[in-house]
Amino acid sequence: MNDTGDFTRWLKGHVEELNPLGSLARSIANDPQWPAAADIDTCRAYLESRGAAPELIDTLREAWAEFQFLRR
C-alpha cells in the first residue's frame, strides 16, 4: 500500500470541512497516538480500539479510497 504518512497529511488538510471527512480529520489531528505511518488496517483497528462509531470507520474507508484515487 501507499505511504499512510501521506494519507495522514492529506486527511489533516480537511480539518475545516463540516462533513464526515472533516470530523475524521479533526479526530486524528487532535490525537497524538494516531498511527500516522501505519497501514490502513492498523488505522482502522486503532479507531476501533478507541471505540469509534461505525460511521467513522466507514468514513476512514471512504477517505482512503478517495486518497488512493487522487494519487493515481
Q: Provide the residue type at 10 as one letter.
A: W
DSSP readout, 49-70? HTT--HHHHHHHHHHHHHHHHH
Closest by Cα among 61, 55, 57, 32 to 47:
57
Q: How far apart are CA 37 and CA 67, in angstroms?
A: 15
For each successive 10 residues of the chain (72 residues), what is the average pLDDT? 72 95 94 87 94 94 93 80
The three-state secondary structure class of 8 is helix
Domain ranges (residues) in the chain: 4-28+36-70
Q: What is the pTM of this model?
A: 0.85
Q: How far apart are CA 53 and CA 68, in angstroms?
A: 23
